[in-house]
Amino acid sequence: MTVRTTRTTISFLRPFKLRDLDDIQPAGDYLLDTDEELIESLSRLAYRRVATLLHLPSTSRPQGRTEVVSVSPAELDAALEKDRIGRA
């Protein structure tokens, strides 16, 4: 099974909350990893998303450390859209 990971940076101008996170997260830039696996049976290349991982600054560890949590892509997209609409 072939897995590829894409890393992007997402930005929030306002604090945000996701169901899978314990606390409200501060505004700022966050790293986002998307893992996708190759679907082998197709005649052309196609990938299926298997994980969406958000890197959070950890409040319980020394500065510079991060915590990585699995999040719902749909919920994350909704939070980003809410933040974008709030900017206008």
3-state secondary structure 53-70: EEEEECCCCCCCCEEEEE
Give dist(CA 64, CA 24) in Å, integer: 19
Its domain, for residue 34, covers: 3-87
Mean pLDDT check: name the lowest of 17-26, 39-48, 79-88.
39-48
Q: What DSSP string describes 16-41?
A: B--TT-SSPBPSEEEEEEEEEEE-TT
User: Does pTM surpass 0.85?
Assistant: no
* Amino acid 78: pLDDT: 95
**Total domain count, the chain:** 1
Instruction: Give me the chain's average pLDDT, please.
Output: 88
What pLDDT, on the 0 to 100 scale, is given for residue 22?
85
Q: Could you give the CA distance from residue 86 to residue 88 in angstroms, rounded to a whole number?
A: 6
pLDDT tens, residue by residue, 27-64: 999 999 999 999 887 678 888 999 999 999 866 566 77
Scan for tokens 């894409």, then name that residue.
Answer: 6
